Amino acid sequence: MQTPTSLFFSSLLLLLLPMAHTRSVFRQLLKEINQQYTKVANTDQYANELRAVYRQNMVVTDPAKIAALNQTADDLLSFLQATRKHKELRERYSSIVLEQKKRVEMSAKRVGLQMPKQYEPGVEEQVQSRVDKAFHK
């Protein structure tokens, strides 16, 4: 049989565990957002939006709603971690490290297309000078 004190502490523990998990996920989300968005875009917009969402939902007391919010946060964290890891692996194990133009050309050839020749301003002047020389001698 549980004493009132042990019952109190066990119920308090049950209340604090989801809060500890929520706090842990929040910190991990901030870390991922800082790595992927804040440093790249040089703005705190995404981190501030996350903080605002967490502050807005601090007053929620319905256990089902809290569980749904925690599940959404877990899913978002998994997504952010997976996209970061995918990008790292793609960069690390890319068999051909080429400049963007060459990658596009290779992708086009792979599906049976050819890239159009790009406009170069100097080439047009050279062609025009050759035409002028040929017809205006």
What does the pLDDT read at residue 95?
58
Q: What is the pTM of this model?
A: 0.57
What does the pLDDT read at residue 118?
73
The CA distance from 49 to 37, in Å, is 12
Half-sphere exposure of 70 (CA within 13 A, CB side): 16
Does the structure show a pLDDT above 80 at 48? yes
For 50-90, write each residue's pLDDT tens digit.
888 888 888 888 888 888 888 898 999 999 999 999 988 88
Which alpha helices (H) appear in the chain, and where do they start and end? Answer: 4-33, 39-41, 45-56, 63-93, 100-110, 121-135
